[in-house]
Amino acid sequence: MCLTCGCNDAHKRMGENVTYEDIRDIAVGNGQTVDETLRVLAATAASDRTQHVEEYERAWDSGQG
């Protein structure tokens, strides 16, 4: 998709990215709207960032390539 890579095509399946459909399916599974799910995701990341600053600042290597 490009909720994550920056191509602005939220429905395009490409690489290890998240699509709108992925978020929609997660929202359905949690009994939420897509907007609610995105708000929860952002709020959770903001909270976690304060506890794990180094994890958010570091560029990660998956070790797969």
As a whole number of Å, the end-to-end CA separation of the chain is 21
pLDDT digit string, tens, across residues 22-46: 999 999 999 999 999 999 999 999 9
Q: What length does the chain have?
A: 65
* Confidence band of 5 (pLDDT split at 50, 70, 90): confident
Residue bearing the bigger pLDDT, 17 or 65: 17
**DSSP state at residue 6:** S
pTM of the complete model: 0.76
Contacts of 49 (CB under 8 A, 6+ apart): 56
Backbone torsion region of residue 7, taken as left when φ is above 0, otherwise alpha when ψ lies between -120 and 50, otherwise beta = alpha
